[in-house]
Structure 1
Amino acid sequence: MDSTETQAATQKNDIAPRTVTLRNKIGYAMGDVGNNFLFDMGQLYLLNYFTDQVGLPSAAAGTVFLVAKIWDAFADMSVGTWIDNRTNISKRGKFRPFLLWAGIPLGLLLIANFTTPNFSVTGKLIWAYLAYMLFGTCYSISNVPFGSMIPTMTRNSQERSELASWRQAGSNLGLMLATIGFMPIVNLLPNEQTGYTVAVVVFAALGVICQWISYANIKENYSAPAKQKVNKKDLKAAFKSLLKNKPLITLSIVNLFTFSAFNLKLAVQVYYCKYILKDTAAISWLGFFSIGMVFVSVFLTPILTKRIDKKYVYMLGCAIWAIADILGFFMADNTFLFVFFTSIAYLGDGFTSALNWALVSDCVEYGEWQTGIRSEGMTYSFFLYFRKLSQAIAGFVPGVVLAWVGYVPGQTQTAGALLGIRGLMFLYSAVLSIATIILMYWAYSLTEKRYGAIVKDLLNRRGDEKVNSVQMTN
């Protein structure tokens, strides 16, 4: 590290060296391209597939998401505990191998979700539950290690923000391509149900390939000593340490708000385009422009976080999101206005999404500093637990609300049903964005200044040789 870089790091209250190359950043982004090819099929299209193609009742289809995602949440915690306490760690690293081995099973299980056999309604529901729960478990085995990697790739706070932004760029690219490309593939086939299956096969294959590319191009630069023995007392202490981590708990709760709002919008936008705009082509336009705006926020996030605390950039994103959705509720009556206001809302959401992974990595260091227990996997899986709960809410609420307002698949909808779809698309996310601003302001205390002091204290405790050498050059 030269003197200019050292001075910049010091000014940022960041004394850890930069260890991540451009190739590593691109590789990490590709991992989330693959994750989203695999994961977003369920968030974008599975509810509509259940109601309009398979013929499941709306409330019953929504309950599949509720039960499966609550199951996933506990699976995440179990996976995180297992990862933290692995003792047989190969040269590939602690987290990377999961990207390699989980890809194919994950792709096959995704396809199973969109190939419902011609059973009775009860049989179709059983298939939906089993297929989606197994998919979620396999996704945890792949995604928990992937998200836990940032603390092992770098200890530099700014570099973590950059990695989080690259990851979000990959996520947004995957979501954009899934939104733009899915329905055109469906429309090429003679019927929609077959089209859904073929489109999912295409994206499942691409998702596995992207995960393998990521595996080949990322690197774990730091590693904790392998644990020699695991006992219930250690596990209990680790769980208690998570409950003492106030920044982690705050971040997890606001993610329950923002991620449920984001995923609910993804599920409802298909219904909005079909029944309010009567323009299914709007889904592809929305994918291009709205997710394109998220790329703008991903580009802006590292620039803003160099000048403004990550906490306040996060709150700024929620403010943009809330304003755009409130205006959209009243004004989005045609494709142009719908795409415009939703794109601005996604711009705001992009700030929160890009920063989540950097903030949760900071919470790892805070937890170790506070309790002496370092647990990347358990911290990440605790955080992911709330994201899975948010996905459960995002799948369950639309199904229940659609049933409540009298939604009938494939038919002209009543005024009440159309109002319900509009409210789900805009008001739900606006209210939760405002709640996030309030909670982050009052409860999230891990500012950049405080984080810098915590990292310095931790590195002094560890006697980190690399960082000591950097300090001596200052």
Structure 2
Amino acid sequence: MNQDSEKLSIREKIGYSLGDLAANLVFQTLITYLAYFYTDIYGLSTSDTSLVLLSVGLIAAFVFNPLVGAMADRTQSKWGKFRPWILYTSIPLGVVAILTFTTPDFSYNGKLAYAVVTYTLLLLLYAMNNLPYSALSGVITGDMAERNSMSSYRFVAVMLAQFFVQVFMYSLILKIGDGDKAAGIEAVMTYLALLGVLLLLITFFTTRERVVPKPEQQSSLKEDLKDLRGNRPWVIMLLLTTLTFITLAMKGGAYLYYFENYVNQEALRLFLNPVIGSLSNYGLNFFGEDPVSAGFGLFNAGGIVFMIVGITLSKRLADRYGKRDVLGVGLFVSTLFILIFYFFDAESLGMIFTCQMLHGFFYGITIPLLWAMIADVADFSEWKNNRRATAIIFSAMMLGLKGGLSIGGALLTLVLGLYHYAPENLSQPESALMGVKMLVSVYPSIPFFVGVGLLFWYEIDKKMEIQIETDLKERRER
């Protein structure tokens, strides 16, 4: 395979990125609303919510992902290894996403069982769809610069999904449900599921697999697992991904609680009046008169817009300094803008919104790099062992994603319970308000800081990236 054949068209980059747009219509909803849905809409206790999120999530992480990764690596079809998984799981994933956010008229125990079953099926289908989708990025091209470029397209799509879910979805839930949040979220998820299925089908039809392992590179599952145990970059990326998604689940899930309970609503209304007035003048008043939905939406909007700016700079910085070093610096600085939320009182709205935007910018720089580095780890494994097992390498990302999401979500509701948060109360005790404040500041900053420390042991720097790419290109041209 020559170098020119590994260059990707804009059409294929966009087509690939739409798969992550689809996945994140579900995933961002899980991060932002699942804990809130279970406690404040569905009616589960904080302790039962923690149990569901943790137990089901860890099963998905440590059972579903390795199995799917091993099977996907051994899939043989006219469409390749990974694309068939995207095709065949698209519709079931959409259906189960709707069911997960449906509130049936069951007894409490019946609703608890329903939550366990639907969430389990959702995470299983998400693994069967998104793990092969992620692994596809490692075989679309072997050109690392093209991967960096594709990752930037991909994560602009992620930010678009995140923008919709975090900025507009809460207001839509209230409007479509006419105040009935259970009916509203079910209706919104139905529309998102239909859109997601369409986007996944576009991804299937616009991409192709170019990096095909030679027959002599085929390996057994035992050999794949042995290679992983000796692959220190893989271990570090597994831990880093887990820590990253613990933070994302914890703070992302806490923001709605933060705006509903901690932020002073009258101060928020006064702070937002100029913005809401300007939007209304242009017919863009999406939020109505509710200060919580407006504040929550615009807070997230500021962070996401600046994340997208950071994403656009990511490839240029990574090409110059290497992914590892750029990721480490970006992650460290972004964490400082999480930690500082501890010092803001309920009326420090200017600082709250400003620091969210600064956090978004620096974290945005890191977003494409995490996924691109997993593809580099797959190359590192092939370079070192002369065998390629892309999907099982990418299972690190999915295992860390599911594990981190589960641990972070469980910690979120566990901390709320420990600080005596009561969903049925219109006014929360001071202890609960402190718990919410800690969940958007101190607690989520800890995993990010640990992740920065882990990067000191990650050996694939800029020099090694070039060496691996050059050596593998020579092998594949023989």
The one-letter amino acid paired with 2:67 is S
**How far 1:229 moved relative to its partner?**
8.8
Residue 82 (structure 1) aligned to one of 63, 68, 71 = 71
Q: Which amino acid in 2 is paired with 1:108? A: V
Identity fraction in percent: 26
Does residue 210 (structure 1) correspond to residue 196 (structure 2)? The answer is no
Deviations, residues 78-103 of structure 1 (Å, cap 9, x unaligned): 0010011123x11x232122222211
**Structure 1 residues 336 and 62: CA distance shift in structure 2, 3 A:** farther
* 1:430 equivalent in structure 2: 445
1:245 aligns with 2:234: no
How big is each residue's C-alpha offset from its partner over 1:204-261, in whole Å with a ceiling of 9 and x where there is no partner? 111112212222222222222579998xxx2111101011111111111111112210
Question: Does the CA-based 8 Å contact 1:405-1:417 persist in structure 2?
Answer: yes
How many angstroms apart in 1 are the aligned matches of 2:225 and 2:382? 12
Q: Distance in 2 between matches of 1:227 and 1:384?
A: 27
1:11 corresponding residue in structure 2? none
Q: Return the offset for 1:386.
A: 1.7
How far apart are 1:264 and its partner, in Å?
A: 1.5
Residues 77-226 of structure 1 mapped to structure 2, 5 A cutoff: 77-87=66-76, 89-90=77-78, 92-188=79-175, 189-190=177-178, 191-225=180-214
1:122 Cα shift? Answer: 1.4
Counterpart in the other structure of 1:389: 403
Q: Residues of 1 paired with 2:356 and 2:26: CA distance?
A: 23
Contact 1:19–1:154 (CA under 8 A) maintained in structure 2 = yes
1:299 corresponds to: 312
- 1:281 corresponds to 2:281: no
Task: Tell me what 2:26 maps to.
Answer: 38
- Give SS of 2:351's match: helix
Partner in structure 1 of residue 253 of structure 2: 267
For residues 408 and 275 of structure 1, what CA distance do their matches in structure 2 show?
Answer: 11
Question: CA–CA distance in 2 between the matches of 1:461 and 1:159?
Answer: 19
Change (3 A) 1:249 1:332: farther
Shift of 1:333: 3.1
Q: CA deviation at 1:17?
A: 6.5
2:280 aligned partner: none
Question: Aligned ranges for residues 331-346 of structure 1 at < 5 Å?
Answer: 331=344, 333-334=346-347, 335-346=349-360
Work out the CA distance in 2 between the residues paired with 1:417 and 1:332: 14
TM-score if structure 2 supplies the norm length?
Answer: 0.89
- The equivalent residue for 1:470 is none
1:128–1:182 Cα change, 3 Å:
same
Partners in 1 of 2:101 and 2:313 — Cα distance?
Answer: 37
Measured in 1, the distance between the counterparts of 2:432 and 2:158 equals 32
DSSP-derived class of the 2:321 partner? coil
Corresponding residue of 1:472: none
Q: Does 1:52 align with 2:67?
A: no
- Work out whether residues 334 and 362 of structure 2, in 8 Å CA contact, stay in contact via their aligned partners in 1: yes
Structure 1 residue matching 2:320: 3-state secondary structure: coil
- 1:370 corresponds in structure 2 to 384
Check conservation: 2:139, 2:211, Cα contact below 8 A: yes
Contact residue 258 and residue 429 of structure 1 kept, 8 A: no
Q: What residue number does 2:274 align with? A: none
Q: CA deviation at 1:290?
A: 1.0
Q: What is the DSSP-based 3-state SS (H/G/I as helix, E as strand, rest coil) of the residue aligned with 2:341?
A: helix
Q: CA deviation at 1:410?
A: 4.1
8 Å CA contact 2:171–2:293 kept in 1: the answer is no
Partner residue of 2:423 out of 389, 409, 424: 409
SS of the residue aligned with 1:344? helix
Q: Does 1:328 align with 2:317?
A: no
Matching of residue 444 in structure 1 with residue 430 in structure 2? no
| Cα distance, 1:228–1:357 mapped onto 2, change above 3 Å | closer
Change (3 A) 1:438 1:187: same
- Cα distance, 1:38 vs structure 2: 2.1
Q: Please report the TM-score for the alignment, with normalisation by the length of structure 1.
A: 0.90
Q: Secondary structure at the match of 1:149?
A: helix
Superposition deviation, residue 18 in structure 1: 4.5
How far, CA to CA, are the matches of 1:461 and 1:28 in structure 2? 27
* Contact 2:311–2:366 under 8 Å retained in 1: no
Q: Secondary structure at the match of 1:281?
A: helix
Any conservation in 2 of the 1:79–1:141 contact (CA below 8 Å)?
yes
C-alpha distance in structure 1 between counterparts of 2:298 and 2:40, whole Å = 22
Contact 2:16 2:206 in 1 (8 A): yes
- May I ask how many residue pairs the two structures share in their alignment? 446
Range 208-217 or range 71-80, more displaced: 208-217
Q: Distance in 2 between matches of 1:164 and 1:308?
A: 17
Distance 2:368 2:424 in 1: 37
Task: Report the more deviating stretch, 273-282 or 247-256.
Answer: 273-282
Q: Which amino acid aligns with 1:444?
A: Y
Q: Is the 8 A contact 1:36 1:171 kept in 2?
A: yes
Provide Cα deviations, 1:395-430, integer angstroms capped at 9, x if missing partner: 100111111100011421111111111111111222
The answer to whether the Cα contact below 8 Å between 1:262 and 1:429 also exists between their aligned partners in 2 is: yes
How far off is 1:107 after superposition? 0.9
Equivalent position amino acid for 2:430 in 1: A
- In 2, the alpha carbon distance for the partners of 1:217 and 1:339 equals 39
Amino acid at match of 1:363: V
- Residue 12 of structure 2, aligned match among 15, 21, 24: 24
Checking the alignment, whether the CA contact within 8 Å between 1:16 and 1:156 is kept in structure 2 is no
